[in-house]
């Protein structure tokens, strides 16, 4: 069994897409905790709606690479358009931030909002 903390965010129908993502996550993992959702300004491309961001603590039987593939599948199921620019609008964004108590996403060290939501369910 592995423990992971996932970052999730959306700025396209964020309430609906985050709730749908959580329901789909519950099909592939045991969801232990969900952080509060915080609203943040976009990074890079600023002419777009604010993002709703949070974190989810899960237990999973999957190794990190398989979990990452499953997260991409959930993003695809929710209509994520990968042709958009990297920092453009998103239906949903799911990233592994911590895996087995090790930070695996460098954004954690660079983005205060990510530290805030992750730490609220981790530390």
* Domain interval for residue 19: 2-122
pLDDT tens per residue across span 48-62:
999 999 999 999 999
pLDDT band at 123; cut points 50, 70, 90 = confident
CATH of the domain at 79: 3.30.70.560
Count how many domains the chain has. Answer: 1
Phi, psi angles (nearest 5°) of residue 9? -155, 155
20 is catalytic: no
Both tokens of 14, joined, read 């964020």
Concatenated DSSP letters of 74-122: HHHHTT--TTS-TTS--S-EEEEEEETTEE--THHHH-HHHHHHHHHHH
Q: Is 95 known to be catalytic?
A: yes
Given 27, 30, 65, 80, which residue is catalytic? 80
pLDDT in tens, 66-84: 999 999 999 999 999 888 9
The pLDDT value recorded for residue 115 is 95
To which residue do tokens 């920092």 refer? 87
């Amino acid at each position: 069994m592995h423990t992971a903390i996932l970052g999730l965010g959306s700025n396209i129908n964020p309430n609906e897409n985050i709730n749908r993502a959580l329901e789909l996550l519950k099909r592939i993992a045991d969801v232990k905790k969900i952080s509060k959702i915080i609203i943040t300004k976009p990074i890079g491309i600023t002419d777009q709606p604010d993002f709703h961001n949070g974190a989810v603590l899960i237990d999973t039987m999957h190794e990190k690479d398989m979990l990452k593939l499953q997260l991409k599948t959930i993003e695809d199921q929710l209509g994520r358009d990968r042709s958009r620019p990297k920092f453009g609008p998103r239906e949903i964004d799911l990233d592994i931030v911590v895996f087995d108590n090790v930070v695996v996403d460098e954004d954690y060290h660079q983005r205060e909002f990510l530290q805030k939501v992750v730490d609220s369910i981790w530390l």
